[in-house]
Chains A and B, each alone.
Chain A
Amino acid sequence: MLGWLCARMVNGYSKLKERLIEHILFLYAALSIFVTIGIVFILLSETLSFFRDVSVFEFLFGTRWSPMFTPPRFGVLPLVNGTLLVAIGSSIIALPLGISSAVYLSEYAHERVRSLLKPLLEILAGVPTIVYGYFAVTFVTPLIRRVLPETDIFNAASACIVVGIMILPMVSSLSEDALRSVPRSLREGAYALGSTKYEVTTKVVVPSALSGILASFILAVSRAIGETMAVTLAAGATPVMTLNFFESIQTMTAYIVQVSLGDTPAGSVAYKTIFVIGMVLFTMTLVMNIFSQWIRSRYQEVYD
């Protein structure tokens, strides 16, 4: 009787422990939901409070951004302009280079060459962004100014080049995965019809992997939009509407850094701008990331 009771108790204890552990682990997993809620809540509440002082219309369509001046102007378009200029410029560099690297690594390179080159490209992805900022300021900008002397010290082009280098491995690595997942039989079918390797690659392999390649492009652009340190150091702090890559601009991320480095009093309208801009940034990157996932899952070719 006593033995039976003890066994029941031990059993009960161990069951309790099992349940407890499961619940604790669930809380850990659920924490990520609270992080998201926290981000959205903080950004949203300050954004709403900001729009009590500033009209939504002025914010969305105004073409002057000068929250620190009197009278302050809160048109977000110059900052969006700066961000998009860097995103477009870096894409011009990273997308063609990335996709052709991916094609080379996946279709042409010998296994040994690939196992040497791929990790080297991946190192580029592991280099901290502050190092790219340094590289832009001390190497790329002086180089541009030697070729085009009228370029501003701070300019979009320099930021575009280093951000392009930064997102290049993302494009090449993710696109390569997509290319390699195209089954061998498709390539062999095309070879059997007498195609050259160029034809097999451009007419069979790349089209089959298009969803993955597109998804990698979108992710890379989203990364370029969120990039902070390189653009803060290289692109300048001048929010202007321009399409000129050789002028000083300001991106949304660089603006947030600029405000947080200064001594703007908490609670002021100028202070709230970092949350509003953060909200715009968060929304833009989130939409792009979801879009990229959607493309990958919606248009993924399923073989065998």
Chain B
Amino acid sequence: MRVESWKLQDGRWLKDRLFTIVCFISTMVGVLLLFLLLWDVFTRGLPWLSWDFLTSFPSRFPERAGIKSALFGSIWLILLTAAFAVPIGVGAAIYLEEYAPKNRLTKIIEINISNLAGVPSIVYGILGLTLFVRTLLLGRSLLAGALTMALLILPIIIISSQEALRAVPKSIREASYALGATRWQTIRHQVLPAARPWILTGNILALSRALGETAPLIMVGALSFVAFVPRTPLDPFTALPIQIFSWVGRPQEEFASLAAAGIIVLMAFLLTMNATAIILRNRYQRRLEW
């Protein structure tokens, strides 16, 4: 009797072990793919990465080509995008969390924001092309690109800032009101400082999404061959992902390696931004304990 029940358990036990192994392997496939991707980029790109690569303009000759204009374009783009998206996004989050009455309009706004977050980036490109490039006559400029990117990351900024504001305990607001502060004074001097590290983290992550986006920039007409550094927001521009795109599209092997070198620069840029976000969060997290 006892032996029989062991046998029965044996099959179930085997199934259990097999399932564990299958699940473990699936997880490792993802991790291995990440390393494979990084390995491929680094082995190809690293030999091409040099100071000259960073400080030269693009060229028909791979050995002379560089990403100076793309690097400057991306920095410009991120700063301009932040200038539009951060105040509006955080402001919208403040309204929704601190002011908005619980009515139908508020609900519509919130549902609308979460749906906007799922709209494909190329559709934002179409919007930017029609609204900024053609209707507002901004042309194929940095400004048009930055405004498009700002609309693209606005939902992400709003949603993450809302989460940050929601995490501030009610008691802080009530203590401030009890001392006679108005609503805005409470937000300005109590709620915002308390939520700042998380708001900052969410904003940086959203901006790093904008840094890697390619399709909307192609739509608003970023150029792939720009031999100058933009001086004003109305100048034409290129950006890192656009430069990489144009290199990947070429048949010569050397340009693929240049693309890999460009990707290393792009990823280093992204990594710096994300690391800043994490450091900021850890730094403040220790100081603020409720």
Complex: A289 Cα to B30 Cα, angstroms = 25
* CB–CB B26/A198 < 8 A: no
Near B by CB (< 8 A), chain A positions 13-63 give 14, 17-18, 21-22, 24-26, 28-33, 35-36, 38-39, 42-43
B179 at the interface (CB under 8 A from A): no
A79 at the interface (CB under 8 A from B): no
- If A139-B40, A172-B30, A233-B249 touch, whether A226 touches B122 (CB-CB below 8 Å) is yes
Which A residues touch B263, using CB under 8 A?
Answer: 130-131, 134
- If A97-B29, A128-B241, A169-B30 touch, whether A39 touches B270 (CB-CB below 8 Å) is no
- If A32-B154, A97-B30, A124-B33 touch, whether A274 touches B116 (CB-CB below 8 Å) is no
A228 at the interface (CB under 8 A from B): yes
Which B residues touch A18, using CB under 8 A?
Answer: 182-184
Stretch at the interface among B52-60, B126-134, B170-178, B193-201: B126-134
* CB–CB A286/B118 < 8 A: yes
B281 to chain A, nearest CB (A): 14
* CB–CB B256/A137 < 8 A: yes
B186 to chain A, nearest CB (A): 11
Which A residues touch B91, using CB under 8 A?
Answer: 24-25, 28-29
* CB–CB A257/B16 < 8 A: no
Query: Total interface residues on B, using CB and 8 Å?
Result: 81
Which A residues touch B118, using CB under 8 A?
Answer: 219, 222, 285-286, 289
* CB–CB B112/A32 < 8 A: yes
Q: Which of B31, B95, B212, B259 gathers most chain A CB within 10 Å?
A: B95
* CB–CB B214/A128 < 8 A: yes
B178-192: CB near A (< 8 Å → 1, else 0) gives 000011100000000
A1 to chain B, nearest CB (A): 24
* CB–CB B182/A130 < 8 A: no
Which A residues touch B284, using CB under 8 A?
Answer: none
Stretch at the interface among A2-10, A102-110, A183-191, A239-247: A102-110
A147 at the interface (CB under 8 A from B): no
* CB–CB A260/B41 < 8 A: no
A-B residue pairs in contact (CB < 8 Å), sample of 17: A18-B184, A24-B91, A29-B158, A32-B116, A97-B26, A97-B29, A100-B22, A101-B30, A105-B27, A117-B27, A128-B266, A131-B267, A139-B37, A196-B12, A228-B215, A256-B125, A275-B126
Residues in chain A within 8 A of chain B (CB atoms): 14, 17-18, 21-22, 24-26, 28-33, 35-36, 38-39, 42-43, 96-97, 100-101, 103-105, 107-109, 117, 120-121, 123-124, 126-131, 133-135, 137-139, 165, 168-169, 172, 196-199, 201-202, 219, 222, 225-229, 233, 253, 256-257, 260-261, 266, 274-275, 278, 281-282, 285-286, 289-290, 293
